[in-house]
Every structure is written in structure tokens, then in C-alpha cells.
Structure 1
């Protein structure tokens, strides 16, 4: 009876689709030097605030939120998509992800008529293959594009399920209320792929048992082949296809010997979480935030700063905090955490509180 009632209510909800992203030239927001921000905006179930800060004049990072239909079919599924793309070596890969990943997700969701881990994985794979094709076309005129890549952190909320998919060292952290104490507990949802983590180094050695130099300590920093800290990404074709690890690519990127299989992976780590009534918000941020704050510190800041603020940034990171109840910004030491309302509503049915996803 209860499941049929929830299905009926969901069937009656047919929202329109809205898209919010920042690519460095979004006129919908405001620009102050290297700070871009949008104080308030509307999406399916409420308001949101969003901001991006860059460390230099070339913005390599992208972020987006898509709310509404998650399929090419008008019948859904419906939900919210959040993406944080931390680029390196240039802006081309993060821009490509921003322009293509969500479209691929909608295409595969339409084919399966549902949202799933398989849909998300296929969307990542199609985005990677598309960028490979772009590199192949531009290689004769612009060979350095082979050394451009991006971390890719994605969150999808659909039918009371939160999917987290990650490549690289960005991070998603959930804030969950503890009713007994009134505190909000930080729970990390994403797996990271940075060889500074011992388990990631072990994974690289197990995948490349014949290469004793697959991970090298260089200037007190662990790097894959002495070049890059992350072990998974979109792009970075020079470490995935040997034919692009040669002249005219800059010598600092070229390896001494050709490789037979990809050194970096584009297979995302995907986790699935059933949303609970005590789940308050999720912070999506690149590594620039987590270098300064622990998971719990970031969650405490969001919990204790419920009003919009604006100030001076001291470091560069890309971050979106999706609040399950409210729209807010939080400021700490010159660093922003950006919050957007996801629109998870809870309906009181009978004697209990049942999570209902009405996006």
C-alpha cells in the first residue's frame, strides 16, 4: 500500500528541466576579478547559490548542476545531476566533460529507461572515448592536448538513491544528523585515486607488476611515472595510448620506453547510497578544499553557517555542496563551500517519516 502511494505521487510529479553550469563566461552570474558567483537561482524544488574561483587567468575547472529529466525520454527518470571537473594541463578536458557527460548519461538512461551504475559507467566511458577522438583530430595541429586531463566527480540523485562516481582526487562528503547529540557527522562517500594514498600505490603495482617505476617518489611527492599524482582520470591520453607519447609532445611528458597498456585508468569508482531522513547535505569539492579542511571541519562549517556570505578566496578549488533541505554558502578562512538544494522531501505517512524523492 505504501509503495503504491509513493509511486502514485511520483507519477504525478513532472518537473521541467533546468541546467546550471559555469564555464568562465556565464552571464547569469556576477564576476569580481577571478571570482564568479550567483547569489540565488531557481531550480526544480527551490533556490541555490553557486560560486567558482580560479587561481589564474586560465580557468581549468568546470562545475554544473542539472535538474529535471535525466533521460532523452520525457517519461524520465527524473532527478538531479551534479558534476565537479578539476582540470589539469589546460581547460580542454574539463570543458569537454561539462559539454558531453550529462548528454551521454541521458542517452544511456533512455536506453535502459532507468538510472543505474551501468548507465553512469557507460556515460563516463563514452565521454572518455569522445575526448580520445578529439585528441586524434587535433594532434597534428595541437599535440599538447594529449597531456590535458581532468578529475571527474559526479553525483546523481534519482528515486531516493544517491550515486557517487569518481575519477581522481576530488571528494564527496555527506553530512548526516545524529539525533541523540544534535551533531552532524561527516561521512565520505567517494573513493579517491591519488598515489599519495598507500592503497592506491599498491593498486598501481598490482596492475603493472613488471614496472618497478610505475610509482616514483619525486621531490617528496608520489607520482605515477614521476609525472602525475592521480591514477584515474578523463583525458591524459599521453599515459593511456602509447602513440601519443612521442614527439612533438613536450619532452617532459614523454616516457623513455613505449607502454603496451594504459598506465592511467578511466574506470570510475561508483558507490550507491539510499538516502535517509537524517541526511542533510553533500559536499562535492576538488582537492583544493580538502588540503585545508578535514571532512568533519567542512561539514561543521556548512552546518553552522546557514546564510549567504561572500568574501575573499585564498586558494583555488571547485566545490558544490548540495543541501538536502536548504540553500546556503559557508565561509571559512577565505574558502567557500557552495551549497545547492537538491530537493529531497520527506512525507509523514502513518507513524513514520518516509524519504520521498520528488524531483
Structure 2
């Protein structure tokens, strides 16, 4: 925020730049997840029951979405602004804070956190409603969870994925797929679902000109982290090239902006 205070008079766009943030760290067999916005971390773990049969892999959400589409988040925002009956507004079926933004916490978005920094002219250009005090927060939600032998993998993804796929659907895709390229498979599955919702073919989305794809799906970034145990106990830290505390498998990453074409989602992924 200090940089924004110093630079915004010459770079007013800094006041409106913002981003969600999702961070995961494994230390001593404990997973810590911090979140701002509506990116999400979901764990795939073996079901606690199943006997001698192969146990199913089930989804466990590790983070909390800060999006006013969620009734609990709307209530939280409203309770923080009891003197503003219009703090959360619905427009065209979408809930937004002051009719502007869906997330209640983020990095940046300084004009919604420090409206006192903005001149009246700048504020009027950014916000249709006068702001008396901050309407967003930069305080993350942090959760910690001890890793267990049945924990298989973690999916970290932006909201572009979760707008199209449920936690359970995403975990199912990862559990049934080869590790290599699995992040891309998730992105393609989300694109296929976006096409289905609009009743168009996937190829039609790929053919849409730049600047218009966002009408069909948001940008999507996916990181899949596999958790491998050395033994039957809690996943242990491992050494060596590419090693990550608590994991031995490579991390699979794929990112797709709303204007990228990408590959055929039905093409098999080579091992």
C-alpha cells in the first residue's frame, strides 16, 4: 500500500489493480493454506471406509471462498457495514460489493480499501457510489491441517476452474488420470463444461476472437501437487532435485487465459 500511496498520482491505474492470492506450504507434515479471494485449494484423499476394496478418492475443501455469491460472505460483509444497506447489491443476477466487485478480500484494489487516497475525480471514474470507508480487506483466511497417509493430492486453482467444475468433479478427474498433464485435463474439462452451458461446441469457444472469450469462461490456472509417503505414516519431507517438503512427485501446472486457444481437450495425454 505504501507504493500505491507514493505512485498513484502519476499512475492512477494502480488504485484499481487487484488480484486474488492462494498460497500453500507444507512444513513438518502440516499443510498451511492462506487465501484471499475466490481461488480455492481442494484435497483429494482416500475415503475412510471401503474395507479391502479399493477406496474412493473424495474431495475435502481446504480454503474458504471470499465471494459475495456465498450467502455467509454476504452476511459477513453486511454485518461489517451496518449503516450501509447497499453494501452488497445484485445486478443481473450477480452479487457484488457496491455493485463493483464479487470478492470481499484481495491483494490491491486500493481504491476500495483506501478511498481517502483518491481524488474525487479519480474515485468518480472508478466507483459509481461514494465510499466513506474501506469495503474490502487484505486479511487472508489461514487454515492448517496435519497430512495423513490417505491424502493423495491437492488442487490449487483460480475461480475460472471452480465456476465450471465442482470440487468432487475435479478430484475425480485427477484420481482417474495419469499424473503428467493432469492440470491441463482439468482446464480442458472446465472449457468443455463452459461450452456445454452455452450450448455450443468446444471448437466454437476456441474460434472466438480475442477479447470476447471472457463471456464464456474466466482465465484458469491450475496447480496439482501430489502427496507421496515414504512409508505408511504421515508424508515425510524428501531430499533431492525437485523435492518438496512432504512430497516426491512433480507438480503439474497449466494456465489458460480467456483468449488462449490451447490444445484439443480430448487428445490423450502421453505418460
* TM-score using structure 2 length: 0.70
Aligned twin of 2:72 = 199
Tell me: CA distance 1:275–1:205, structure 2 relative to 1, closer, same or farther (3 Å).
same
State the distance in 2 between where 1:346 and 1:183 align: 21
The reply on whether 1:166 has 2:35 as its aligned counterpart is: yes
* Number of residue pairs matched by the alignment: 204
- Bigger drift between 140-149 and 194-203 goes to 140-149
Deviation at 1:207, TM superposition (A): 0.5
Aligned twin of 2:225 = 322
Aligned twin of 1:284 = 156
Question: Where does 1:62-101 land on structure 2 (aligned, <5 Å)?
Answer: none
**Residues 132-181 of structure 1, C-alpha deviations (whole Å, 9 max, x = no match):** 12212221211021011111111110000000111111110000012615
Question: Where does 1:302-321 land on structure 2 (aligned, <5 Å)?
Answer: 302-309=174-181, 314=191, 315=217, 316-321=219-224
Unmatched runs of 5 consecutive residues or more in structure 2: 192-216, 239-244, 246-271
The reply on whether 1:270 has 2:164 as its aligned counterpart is: no
CA RMSD of aligned residues (A): 2.0
Conserved? CA contact 1:143–1:248, under 8 Å: no
Deviation at 1:272, TM superposition (A): 0.7
* TM-score using structure 1 length: 0.53
Tell me: CA distance 1:305–1:186, structure 2 relative to 1, closer, same or farther (3 Å).
same
State the distance in 2 between where 1:254 and 1:209 align: 20
Tell me: CA distance 1:302–1:258, structure 2 relative to 1, closer, same or farther (3 Å).
closer
Aligned twin of 1:118 = none
Higher strand share: 1
- Aligned equivalent of 2:231, options 341, 344, 347: 347
Conserved? CA contact 2:29–2:234, under 8 Å: no
Conserved? CA contact 1:245–1:254, under 8 Å: no
Aligned twin of 1:294 = 166
Report 1 or 2 for greater relative contact order, CA contacts < 8 Å, sequence distance ≥ 6: 2
